[in-house]
Structure 1
Amino acid sequence: MTLRALPDEADGLRVLVATGELDAAVVPALLPRAASLVAGARAVALDLSGATFLDSGGVRLVDQLARACADGGAPFRVVAPRGTRPRRVLELVGMADALAVDDLGAAVTALRAAG
């Protein structure tokens, strides 16, 4: 699993890209970095399009990032295409309606409209 930040857009939009498995085995090492991953961003999109698995650890990471964004006043969206495992998990825990979008373009549009 990797989680990397793409270079910020000129308007302060930050895209975090996750690939592989976001699970209880790898997420604990990422949680302490959640706030620093979004610090200074005007808005944040977490792209889970390349995530192959999401469990409660991954949900916790999404929650931590959302909270860190809220603390910094930055809108937050999660790219989790319909029909993927990450989207289904977000639906099951009640996070999809507020956060999930189908593709990065939709996330960028929503985030720019929110700011």
Structure 2
Amino acid sequence: MNHLRITTRPDGPRVVLVADGELDAASSDLLRAAFEEVVQAGQHTVVDVSALTFCDSSSLRLLLSLRDRCAAGGGRLVLAGARGVLARLLHITGLNRAFVLAESVEAAAC
């Protein structure tokens, strides 16, 4: 049973993906599928991670992959609302410097 819910919405010229729950090896395909379904090449994307309660290393790899796919098409991926476990993981691994981070979706300038 997956403990992750992904919702998507257009937000002007960008798309917002909201991840709510636990992002791990068992649930990361939900985020990947939502990304592939709604994000067009070159589109700016915000992943709202403020409601994540867990994130593992395989999910960090997925987020890096999604960031790279956005960049390859001329777009940009912003992580919005990273706090708690995810903020700690990003800091410990140094990946806080690899991502564009924003306090909130509203503050995410793409």
TM-score by length of 2: 0.80
Q: CA RMSD in A?
A: 2.1
8 A contact 1:53–1:86 mirrored in 2: yes
Q: How many percent of aligned residue pairs carry the same amino acid?
A: 30
Structure 1 partner of 2:87: 87
User: Cα distance, 1:40 vs. partner?
Assistant: 4.3
- Equivalences for 1:93-108 in 2 at 5 Å? 93-97=93-97, 98-107=99-108
Say which SS state the counterpart of residue 39 (structure 1) adopts: coil
In the alignment, what sits opposite 1:2? 5
Q: Which has the higher strand share?
A: 2
In structure 1, the gaps of 5 or more residues are none
1:15 Cα deviation (Å)?
0.5
Per the normalisation by structure 1, the TM-score is 0.77
Which aligned pairs between 1:25-104 and structure 2 lie closer than 5 A?
25-28=26-29, 30-31=31-32, 34-40=35-41, 42-82=43-83, 84-97=84-97, 98-104=99-105
Note the 1:5-20 alignment, pairs <5 A. 5-6=8-9, 8-10=10-12, 12-20=13-21
State the 1:53 CA deviation.
Answer: 0.4
Q: Is 51-60 or 40-49 further displaced after alignment?
A: 40-49
